[in-house]
Amino acid sequence: MEKMALFSVLIILACLHVHSVRSAIASTKLDCVNGGSSTVGTVDEDYEGDVEIITNIGPNDRPFLEPHLTGNVRSLLELVYTEGDSTAIVRTIKPLDYEEIRPYSDAVYYFITCARGPKNHRTLYVRDVNDHPPIFQSKSYSATVSETTAVGSNVLTVVARDADATMDNKRVWYSILPPVPDAFEVNTIHGNIRLTKPLDYNSVQQYIFTVEAKDIGELKDTTTVTITVEKQKQNTEENQEEDFSDITPEDIKDQDGDTDINKPVNAPAFI
């Protein structure tokens, strides 16, 4: 008895499945007297299978498929028809790619044309699916910045492109993955890397961190950012030689902890 119940459930599920598949297929009538126009329906990108079943085909109608607006329709759809049959099927040649269709429209337009002339116009709408991740234009970015760079400055910009056609699916958000550096932040929308606190060459000479680009569907990519801190440059020694002529070496000793011989010198000693 239990086996019978299970069998019944399977039959019902199979029927529901057939129904759901067939619900995506339109049934249309061919009019080889007046032509006509109809909307087949809407399918998600990547749809693959039958698009419409055409009935009412007369023995001399001999319909064929023609493009209209969607120039590449013959690479997307095909008409399956045997001469003498009263029905035909339009089906996909490959999964429908919204990004391939979008340069023309958000729909596939075509004609089922009768041998004696009248055209039957069809419109098949396709919805964009988020099937492309953001991709950084470079797997790594680098910049060298002076330790005197003003807080708030943009030091570089990372860019990730998302090949989806609609704004919802192509919009990208940027973030810095942990461990997040204490001196930089990324603009969520534009990808600008901005300095958030003064740099100090003596403390950190290089920052390396990872920036992630993510779309609405959590598809993502990462890139490595390297920012090298450049020591502040001193004025030319020639200019200082004359100014410092009457100052003993002890007077120009290091005042700020810099370790390099070219470290900046506090001016008040010779003014």
Collapse the DSSP code of 192 into the 3-class scheme (helix H, G, I; strand E, B; otherwise coil) and give the result.
strand
Q: Name, in order, each residue with C-beta under 8 angstroms of 189's C-beta and a sequence gap of 6 or more.
A: 173, 174
Q: Which is nearer to Ca ion, 129 or 145 (CB)?
A: 129
| Smallest distance from Ca ion to CB 47, Å | 12
Q: Which residues of 177-213 are buried (b: 16+ CB within 10 A; e: fewer)?
A: eeeebebbebeeeebbbbbeeebebeeeeebebebbb
Q: Is 215 in the site for Ca ion (CB under 5 A)?
A: yes
Report the residue from 31, 131, 185, 200 that binds Ca ion according to the rule CB under 5 A: 131
Mark out the alpha helices in the chain (DSSP H runs). Answer: 2-22, 98-101, 167-170, 237-243
Q: Is residue 169 a contact residue for Ca ion (CB under 5 A)? A: yes
Rounded least distance, CB 218 to Ca ion, Å: 10
Report whether 81 contacts 113 (CB < 8 A): no
Sole window of 48-56, 62-70, 129-137, 191-199 interacting with Ca ion (rule: CB under 5 A): 129-137
Spatial CB neighbours of 11, under 8 Å, sequence gap ≥ 6:
none
214 contributes a contact to Ca ion by CB under 5 A: no
Compute how many other C-beta atoms are within 10 angstroms of the C-beta atom of residue 56. Answer: 12
CA distance 29 to 6: 40
* By CB under 5 A, residue 212 contacts Ca ion: no
Candidate segments 26-34, 72-80, 106-114, 122-130, binder of Ca ion by CB under 5 A: 122-130
Q: Could you tell me the smallest distance in angstroms from the CB atom of residue 102 to Ca ion?
A: 8
Closer residue to Ca ion (CB): 75 or 266: 75
Residue 264 Cβ vs Ca ion, minimum distance, rounded to whole Å: 49
Q: What are phi and psi of 76, to 5 degrees?
A: -105, -40
Q: Which is nearer to Ca ion, 162 or 221 (CB)?
A: 162
The yes or no reply on residue 98 touching Ca ion (CB under 5 A) is yes
State the Cα–Cα distance between residues 59 and 85, nearest whole angstrom.
Answer: 7
What does the DSSP assignment read for 238-262? HHHHHHTTTS-GGGG--SS---STT
Q: Which of residues 78 and 131 has its CB atom nearest to Ca ion in the complex?
A: 131
- Looking at the Cβ atoms of 26 and 216, the one nearer to Ca ion is 216
Q: Can residue 221 be called a binding residue for Ca ion (CB under 5 A)?
A: no
162 binds Ca ion (CB under 5 A): yes
Question: Rounded to the nearest whole angstrom, what is the least distance from the CB of residue 99 to Ca ion in the complex?
Answer: 5
Applying CB under 5 A, among 38, 42, 87, 130 the residue interacting with Ca ion is: 130
Q: Which stretch binds Ca ion (CB under 5 A): 26-34, 168-176, 188-196, 241-249?
A: 168-176
- Sheet with 36-44, side-by-side order of all strands: 36-44, 119-127, 107-113, 64-67
* Angle, alpha carbons 63-66-70 (nearest 5°): 150
- Site residues (CB under 5 A) for Ca ion? 98, 128, 130-132, 162, 164, 169, 215
